């Protein structure tokens, strides 16, 4: 069963989704600032996004709707291709390690 998230009808729908790649990084969290709260005066009545600029870092940055920028199709393809190539290189290294030990199941 796929997990679902319900958004109240009186809230605006978020522009970005979990895991979406943006120019600032990957969206890892969403937070809504509802109307008539103190936070609205500081951040505005909109979504705020927790973004991981680098997946190898524990630094998280926060952005509002108007601060995040989408990637172009070419930029997204380039990022994904680079990640695929990195994983393929890791697979080669693991295959070499497996071959070096002879694939033996002897403990």
Q: pTM, whole model, 2 decimals?
A: 0.74
Instruction: Output the pLDDT for position 39.
Output: 66
- Per the document, the length of the chain is 107
Q: What is the pLDDT of residues 30-88, one digit of tens each?
A: 988 877 777 666 666 688 999 999 878 889 999 988 899 999 999 999 999 999 999 99
9 pLDDT tier (thresholds 50, 70, 90): confident
100 pLDDT tier (thresholds 50, 70, 90): very high
Instruction: Report the alpha-carbon angle 35-15-31, nearest 5.
Output: 45
Instruction: Output the pLDDT for position 20.
Output: 93
Q: What is the distance of C-alpha 66 from the center of its chain?
A: 17
DSSP letters spanning 45-88:
SSEEEEEES-TTS---EEEETTT--BPPHHHHHHHHHHHHHHHH
Instruction: Output the pLDDT for position 103.
Output: 65
As beta bridge partners, residue 48 has: 31, 64
């Amino acid at each position: 069963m796929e997990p679902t998230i319900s958004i109240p009808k009186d809230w605006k729908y978020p522009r970005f989704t979990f895991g979406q790649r943006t120019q600032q990084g990957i969206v890892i969290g969403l937070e809504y600032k509802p109307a008539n709260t103190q936070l609205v005066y500081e951040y505005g009545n909109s979504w705020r996004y927790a973004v991981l600029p680098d997946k190898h870092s524990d630094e998280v940055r926060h952005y509002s709707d108007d601060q995040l920028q989408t990637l172009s199709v070419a930029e997204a393809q380039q990022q994904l291709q680079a990640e695929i190539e990195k994983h393929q290189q890791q697979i080669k290294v693991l295959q070499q390690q497996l071959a070096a030990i002879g694939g033996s199941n002897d403990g």
